[in-house]
Chain A
Amino acid sequence: MNTAIGAGLELRQLCREVGGRRLLDRLDLAVAPGECLALLGPSGCGKSTTLRLVAGLDPASAGQVLLDGQDLGALSPGERQVAMVFQSYALYPHLSVEGNLELGLKVRGVAGAERQRRLGAVLEMLQLEELRQRRPAQLSGGQRQRVALARALLRQPRIMLLDEPMSNLDAQLREELRPELRRLLCGREQPVIYVTHDQQEAVGMADRIALLDAGRLQQVGSPRELYADPANRFVACFLGRPAINLLAIAPGRQLGLRPEHLHLAEDGPLAARLLRREWWGHQQLLWLDSRWGPLRVLCDPEVTLPTEPRLGWQRQHELWFDPLSGARLHGQGPVW
């Protein structure tokens, strides 16, 4: 990233410990102005914890949160000028859409006329004019999300935080809303952190992905980097669907091969037996068994299979791991 030193959000050795349990362990991360960073990981990996530390809702046990070089540690959530879209949307049930949007402005003492102007603008931007008198209970999931977004935008935040904003929507709506969300959020001045457990969403929304597991940062980089050059077996397994094949080829070495990188080859080194096939339309997924373990292979939907298929791959797609630690082993694997 070629940004000025200190510009944007920077997390330094950030820790959070509760009752002797380490929820977040020495996290170092930087998000540039205008950048959208996805925090990805399974539940309990520390991604929501990170978000709450940035927002100031929980105190950090150690480490710093810096914004444009300024330490936010001593500031209350209100003073940090961050906006957060909650997983539940956290709309105030006793207030109308308008009331929900206005409350923050009132709390911050924005005068009546200015309040109306800003409110009008954001209502228009998110096409909420029709709904302004409705109570949250009378809104659909997508509409609630829009109100939550509008509220976040009205905050004019220096950091935008989103905590699984799609998880309450059905799968189709999620895909439809992704471009709109990206349009609204990204490309502004502020850094955006987008928490999700869904890799598709992370890939679709983010400039970069930070993958967390058990409170530790596993890898940070563009989706392509994480996919092609995973730092360890966890990253390799977490990204990509269907998941990567792990083959116990030799003691001390484990070979990772993505399903799309295996192909049928008469002279391939790996003999396999077909167990099942799933037909997906544009592709088919083969479930196979081999002497090194079960295999998943993605191939052309129209291909016909021999009774005893053999499989091949290109050396450049090989990913080697230490079977015990899961660490990536660089260099060449054994020669076949």
Chain B
Amino acid sequence: MAARPPLSSLRRWRSLPKLLTNALLALLSAMCLLVLLPASGLSSSGLPSAGQSGIPAAAAEPVTIRVLMPAPLADAVAAPVAQFNASGAGIALEVIRGPLDTETISDLATGSLLLGEAPFDLLLVDVSWLARYVAAGWFEPLERWFGPEVLAAMEPGARLGNGLDGHLWRMPLTGDTGLLYWRTDLMERPPRDTEELVAISRDLQRRGRVRWGYLWQGRQYEGLSCVMVEVLHGFGARWWNGSTARTELDSPEAVAAARWLAALLQDGVSPPAVASYAENDALQSFAAGDAAFLRNWPYAWREIEKGGGLVKGKVGVTAMVGAPGEQGGGTLGTWGLSLIKGSPHPEEAVAAIRWLTGPVVQRQLAIEQGYAPTWSTLYDDPDLQRRAPLLTVQRQALQHPQLRPPTPAYAQLSDLLARQVNGMLTGQGGPGPTMAAAQRQSLQVLRSLAGPAGDTAGESAGGRPAVDR
């Protein structure tokens, strides 16, 4: 018996080539599984089929409408949804909790939509996804149900980013914009422009009141593009020219904007770590009292006040500032509901949109999470003004909102700009070359999207290439 181990090890030794072949096969098939998912999705993506059975539900049986939302929003609407379901409308609204991160939930939604059978009827859509999703043909137009008068009752910023090609694709639920957070314990009033922001920062840093001046999102991700939208606008530049459907990243103003960002790090106003910060990293650092200013979305205010960090009760919020003489503006980060094409119950789904984007839900979101409402009437409500302290600032910010390029190619443009700017922030190139490279690559992307037919990308209105559909 004792002879077994050596003998079997001999056998194993001799069967090595077989072992290797097997290992290689196993490995290859594992890779295939990875490959299979999008492949199978593509085959049916042109014809999204209904998620539920096509048989109309009996009157007694409530129709189930599913909506995918980021988890915090899903949690915030839980009570109004229960209210809606109990109202006897014959609709059972089910909220699917998605990931928090905007890009991650977009990936999740894209994956479902590609597979053709999205397990939801409604999708809460970030303004930056809209052009791409519309181009992919995943949405049903909403103008049948919502006339122009509906959007007219909203704040100017909230009206943007919902329509494309003469259709309405989305009903806005929140009117969020990028905001500037400042420390009320360190200064009398917020800065009026970028120069003041830097001056106050350096003064406070010099006097040892605070370690850093300004925290923002410099990581290589879409959040950096949001920062860029604001900075570019603040310096009189623009990323996207809607009338030519081209980027203008190499303009002198754009380079000046980039130079200002780079100088923030070089002069020590912002920490080098900003180049690795996403929203939450910057928020955590600011909440710990590391800095005088923070660029973030409205939800950050609730986080700071809830969290009980060092700066709780010492934080003010203002609209994003621009360079002296320029009008500042925050990046529009609105969320809205879109109807998935092929939903078996569009009428019921639209009823759900009506309720979810209605004043009751928006009020609740403003109070509980600090999300900006879209309806003008809500901003005039004194009770809400009292319970949602950011309301005035948010309304002010919605008067000068900045849209990210409303093109289906936004994901590419954002990816390459974030990559280039992050390179500049980590010392791999000056502002001039950085922006020139970003512009060159952007034009390449737009050209490649125009296809072999030629450089027609710029010609179609609204920034969307003309496609026969």
- Choose among B3, B10, B11 the residue that contacts A87 (Cβ–Cβ < 8 A): B3
| Contacting residues of chain B (4-30) with chain A, CB-CB under 8 angstroms | 5-7, 9-11, 13-14
Closest-CB distance, B277 to chain A (whole angstroms): 54
A93 near B13: Cβ-Cβ < 8 Å: yes
Known: A94-B13, A137-B11. A87 touches B2 (CB 8 A): yes
Closest-CB distance, A157 to chain B (whole angstroms): 22
B10 near A88: Cβ-Cβ < 8 Å: no
Residues in A whose Cβ lies below 8 Å from that of B9: 93
Report the 5 A-B pairs with minimum CB-CB distance, sorted nearest first.
A137-B10, A93-B10, A88-B6, A88-B3, A168-B3
Given pairs A88-B2, A90-B6, 9 additional interface contacts (CB within 8 A): A87-B2, A93-B6, A93-B9, A136-B10, A137-B7, A137-B10, A137-B11, A137-B13, A168-B3
Of chain A, the residue at the smallest CB distance from B10 is A137
For residue A91, CB closer than 8 A to chain B, the reply is yes
Of chain B, the residue at the smallest CB distance from A94 is B13
Most chain B CB neighbours (cut-off 10 Å) among A87, A91, A93, A136: A93
Residues in B whose Cβ lies below 8 Å from that of A93: 6, 9-10, 13
Residues in A whose Cβ lies below 8 Å from that of B5: 88
Residues in B whose Cβ lies below 8 Å from that of A87: 2-3
Q: Give the size range of B's interface with the partner.
A: 10 to 19
Cα–Cα distance between A88 and B2 once the two chains are bound (Å): 7
Interface residues of A: mostly helix, strand, loop or mixed? loop
Residues in A whose Cβ lies below 8 Å from that of B6: 88-91, 93
| Contacting residues of chain A (66-109) with chain B, CB-CB under 8 angstroms | 87-91, 93-94
Cα–Cα distance between A137 and B16 once the two chains are bound (Å): 14
Closest-CB distance, B6 to chain A (whole angstroms): 5
Of chain B, the residue at the smallest CB distance from A136 is B10
Closest-CB distance, A195 to chain B (whole angstroms): 13
Closest-CB distance, A215 to chain B (whole angstroms): 20
Cα–Cα distance between A93 and B11 once the two chains are bound (Å): 9
| Contacting residues of chain B (396-413) with chain A, CB-CB under 8 angstroms | none
Closest-CB distance, A300 to chain B (whole angstroms): 40
Q: Mark B110-134, 1 if CB is under 8 A from A, else 0.
A: 0000000000000000000000000
Cα–Cα distance between A167 and B11 once the two chains are bound (Å): 21
Of chain B, the residue at the smallest CB distance from A87 is B2
Residues in A whose Cβ lies below 8 Å from that of B13: 93-94, 137
Q: Mark A126-155, 1 if CB is under 8 A from B, else 0.
A: 000000000111000000000000000000
Most chain B CB neighbours (cut-off 10 Å) among A90, A137, A168: A137
- 9 examples of A-B residue contacts, CB within 8 angstroms: A87-B2, A88-B3, A91-B6, A93-B9, A93-B10, A93-B13, A137-B11, A137-B14, A168-B3
Cα–Cα distance between A168 and B4 once the two chains are bound (Å): 10
Residues in B whose Cβ lies below 8 Å from that of A135: 10
Interface residues of B: mostly helix, strand, loop or mixed? helix
Q: Mark B149-172, 1 if CB is under 8 A from A, else 0.
A: 000000000000000000000000
Residues in B whose Cβ lies below 8 Å from that of A91: 6
Cα–Cα distance between A91 and B3 once the two chains are bound (Å): 11
Cα–Cα distance between A93 and B9 once the two chains are bound (Å): 8
Residues in B whose Cβ lies below 8 Å from that of A168: 3
Cα–Cα distance between A270 and B7 once the two chains are bound (Å): 54
Cα–Cα distance between A87 and B5 once the two chains are bound (Å): 12
Residues in A whose Cβ lies below 8 Å from that of B7: 137
Cα–Cα distance between A136 and B9 once the two chains are bound (Å): 11
Cα–Cα distance between A80 and B220 once the two chains are bound (Å): 65
Cα–Cα distance between A168 and B2 once the two chains are bound (Å): 9
Most chain A CB neighbours (cut-off 10 Å) among B3, B9, B11, B13: B3
Residues in B whose Cβ lies below 8 Å from that of A137: 7, 10-11, 13-14
Residues in A whose Cβ lies below 8 Å from that of B2: 87-88, 167
Of chain B, the residue at the smallest CB distance from A168 is B3
Cα–Cα distance between A88 and B5 once the two chains are bound (Å): 9
Q: Mark B172-186, 1 if CB is under 8 A from A, else 0.
A: 000000000000000
Closest-CB distance, B11 to chain A (whole angstroms): 7
Cα–Cα distance between A151 and B3 once the two chains are bound (Å): 18
Closest-CB distance, A44 to chain B (whole angstroms): 13
Cα–Cα distance between A168 and B5 once the two chains are bound (Å): 13
Closest-CB distance, A82 to chain B (whole angstroms): 20
Cα–Cα distance between A261 and B9 once the two chains are bound (Å): 50
Q: Mark B307-320, 1 if CB is under 8 A from A, else 0.
A: 00000000000000
Cα–Cα distance between A93 and B3 once the two chains are bound (Å): 13
Closest-CB distance, B351 to chain A (whole angstroms): 75
Residues in B whose Cβ lies below 8 Å from that of A136: 10
Closest-CB distance, A48 to chain B (whole angstroms): 10
Most chain A CB neighbours (cut-off 10 Å) among B5, B7, B9: B7
Cα–Cα distance between A334 and B11 once the two chains are bound (Å): 63
Cα–Cα distance between A23 and B277 once the two chains are bound (Å): 65
Closest-CB distance, A59 to chain B (whole angstroms): 22
Closest-CB distance, A327 to chain B (whole angstroms): 34
Cα–Cα distance between A27 and B7 once the two chains are bound (Å): 34
Cα–Cα distance between A168 and B14 once the two chains are bound (Å): 22
Cα–Cα distance between A91 and B14 once the two chains are bound (Å): 15
Cα–Cα distance between A137 and B10 once the two chains are bound (Å): 6
Cα–Cα distance between A88 and B3 once the two chains are bound (Å): 5
Residues in B whose Cβ lies below 8 Å from that of A89: 6
Of chain A, the residue at the smallest CB distance from B11 is A137
Residues in A whose Cβ lies below 8 Å from that of B11: 137
Q: Mark A245-261, 1 if CB is under 8 A from B, else 0.
A: 00000000000000000
Closest-CB distance, A202 to chain B (whole angstroms): 19
Closest-CB distance, B292 to chain A (whole angstroms): 67
Cα–Cα distance between A174 and B421 once the two chains are bound (Å): 82
Q: Mark A160-196, 1 if CB is under 8 A from B, else 0.
A: 0000000110000000000000000000000000000
Closest-CB distance, A96 to chain B (whole angstroms): 13
Cα–Cα distance between A89 and B9 once the two chains are bound (Å): 14
Closest-CB distance, A27 to chain B (whole angstroms): 23
Closest-CB distance, A317 to chain B (whole angstroms): 39
Q: Mark B262-291, 1 if CB is under 8 A from A, else 0.
A: 000000000000000000000000000000
Residues in A whose Cβ lies below 8 Å from that of B10: 93, 135-137
Residues in B whose Cβ lies below 8 Å from that of A88: 2-3, 5-6
Cα–Cα distance between A94 and B12 once the two chains are bound (Å): 11
Cα–Cα distance between A136 and B11 once the two chains are bound (Å): 10
Cα–Cα distance between A168 and B11 once the two chains are bound (Å): 17
Of chain A, the residue at the smallest CB distance from B12 is A93
Cα–Cα distance between A87 and B7 once the two chains are bound (Å): 12
Closest-CB distance, B439 to chain A (whole angstroms): 61
Cα–Cα distance between A87 and B6 once the two chains are bound (Å): 11
Closest-CB distance, A40 to chain B (whole angstroms): 18
